[in-house]
Amino acid sequence: MTASTDAFAAIRGRAAGRPAVVLDDDPTGTQTVRDLFVLTEWDIDRIARRLTDPALFLSTNSRSLEEADAVDITRDAVRTALSAARQSGRPISLVSRSDSTLRGHFPAETLAIADAMGAPDARVLLVPFFGEGGRVTVDDVHLLDRDGIRTPVAETEFARDATFAYRSSNLRDWVAEKYAAGGYSLPGVESLAIDTVRTGADAVAGALRALPGGGVMIANAETDPDVEAIALGALRAEDDGLPLVARTAASYVRARAGQPSAPSLVRDELDVRGPGLIVVGSHVPTTTQQMDVLTAEHPELAVHELDIGAVLARDPRVTRRAAEALDEALGAGRTGIVATERHPRDIGLAGGKAVSRALVETVRHVRHRPAWVIAKGGITSYDVARHCLGMAEARIAGPLLTGVPVWISGSGGRWPGVPLVVFPGNVGSRDSLLEAYRRLSGGG
């Protein structure tokens, strides 16, 4: 057996007795797994029913919220999950899944989890490695690999995010920067060298046990076997009684669930026939390039662009007109696209929420049932799933493309069985949206 096979077997054996509850700050954390469940609404019984799986996602969408609201929903999710764990008789691991390019409410969310656990001395394990997206951590520096060129993340567009900007690529400095910005005391920060990680899970567990209470452990990782050893080491440390909160990207979640990299879904697995609906809320450069490629290759697609000024002014005619245009397209057998205008200006969280509301209202008023839906952008995906499609619970079918998961709702949704493609704004090459469309429409 390979080292990965050994790690998966060990993780699956332990995870049966300690499933992971993953608090996902936007829906894209499901991008590396398959045949698990995600909840956008939860209570004790609903969570308890799913604790027989190695992992369960609670989609908090907290990255779209102000920090105080993010803390509140995080505490509620943890307390509910812990009550469900007591009801089911299974201890759980708590994972705070966030962005591999370091955007999100850190350390507010990990501190909120520790508080809700009743364990203020819980250690924090920081693992932003995301192999599928080219995010690696080497010598404590977090890097974005594009076409073989590694760039420190603080030198990328993601570090200039309007809400979650940062200056440091070295994760020791980044942790200190974030704690200081929030006015929090940092008990200590250490790092797991790659050589230590590759020594094995026992070395990882030992390093975590030696970390001061409340301290942060940075995990260097360059390959999938690295993150698998980290996940197994963390699980062993928890089984030995160490209170731990993992703040990670999606690759750690896959490893912690004991799953190998999921193969891409084929069209027959999704049973899609007919035109679909593409909802684009993300404004990162990657998304804009992908939209340009798709519409240039397929000019027959019915594109309706929402005017940002009218959206911010809350003009109700904007969403009505968009829904009518999409209905006309679907009724004629054409795929429809609704997008916000590609604009350079900063509209902030409040503006982002207004845009999201407009997209939700547009899709809600669409009468024709599409064969499939693509939602581009994490916040957009959450809003489409919960507020448009009524997905209180969905099965994660697997990835359509690398890093692009598909959710399928049960009988309770608005369009039961219609696949929702959760397409992160910052994932993929310039051709990836085109490739997703081809796979769903039968054109490739």
Q: What does each of the 444 residues of the chain score in pLDDT, given as a tens digit?
A: 445 667 778 888 888 789 999 999 998 899 999 999 999 999 999 999 999 999 999 999 999 899 999 999 999 999 999 999 999 999 999 999 999 999 999 999 999 999 999 999 999 999 999 998 899 999 999 999 988 999 999 999 899 988 999 999 999 999 999 999 999 999 999 999 999 999 999 999 999 999 999 999 999 999 999 999 999 999 999 999 999 999 999 999 999 999 998 888 877 788 788 999 999 987 777 888 999 999 999 999 999 988 888 877 788 888 899 999 999 999 999 999 998 876 555 666 667 778 888 898 999 999 999 999 999 988 889 999 999 999 999 999 999 998 899 999 877 788 998 999 999 887 888 999 999 999 998 764
| Per-residue confidence (pLDDT) for residue 348, from 0 to 100 | 65
User: Coil, strand, or helix at residue 110?
Assistant: helix
| Per-residue confidence (pLDDT) for residue 81, from 0 to 100 | 99
| Per-residue confidence (pLDDT) for residue 347, from 0 to 100 | 62
CA angle 150, 153, 155 (to 5 degrees): 90
Distance of CA 413 to the CA centre of its chain: 21
| Per-residue confidence (pLDDT) for residue 1, from 0 to 100 | 40
- CB distance 95 to 61 below 8 Å: no
| Per-residue confidence (pLDDT) for residue 314, from 0 to 100 | 83
Distance of CA 285 to the CA centre of its chain: 19
- Phi/psi for 78 (5° steps) reads -65, -45
Sequence-distant (≥ 6) Cβ neighbours of residue 5 within 8 angstroms = none
Q: Where in the chain is the domain with CATH 3.40.50.10840?
A: 3-256
The two three-digit tokens of residue 118, written as one number: 């009743």
User: Coil, strand, or helix at residue 68?
Assistant: helix
User: Coil, strand, or helix at residue 181?
Assistant: helix
| Per-residue confidence (pLDDT) for residue 342, from 0 to 100 | 63
DSSP H/E element including 22: strand 20-24
The CATH architecture to which 267-441 belongs is 3-Layer(aba) Sandwich (3.40)
For residues 59 and 50, what is the distance between their CA atoms, to the nearest angstrom?
14
**343-347 contacts at long range (C-beta below 8 A, 24 or more positions apart):** 343/283, 343/308, 345/308, 346/162, 347/308, 347/312
For residues 163 and 160, what is the distance between their CA atoms, to the nearest angstrom?
8
For residues 50 and 344, what is the distance between their CA atoms, to the nearest angstrom?
43
- CB distance 58 to 112 below 8 Å: no
Residue (of 54, 52, 40, 36) closest to 84 by Cα position: 52
Residue (of 33, 1, 3) closest to 232 by Cα position: 3
Residue (of 258, 234, 232) closest to 16 by Cα position: 258
Q: What share of the chain is helix, strand, coil (3-state, %, to 5)?
A: 45, 20, 35
Q: Return the number of other C-beta atoms located less than 10 Å from residue 418's C-beta.
A: 21
Between the alpha carbon of residue 30 and those of residues 35, 102, 174, 407, the distances in Å are 10, 17, 25, 9
The residue whose two tokens read 């850190």 is 106
CATH 3.40.50.10840 fits 3-256, yes or no: yes
- CB distance 354 to 401 below 8 Å: no
**Which residues sit opposite 136 in a β-bridge?**
143
- CB distance 283 to 120 below 8 Å: no
- CB distance 219 to 100 below 8 Å: no
Q: Where in the chain is the domain with CATH 3.40.980.20?
A: 267-441
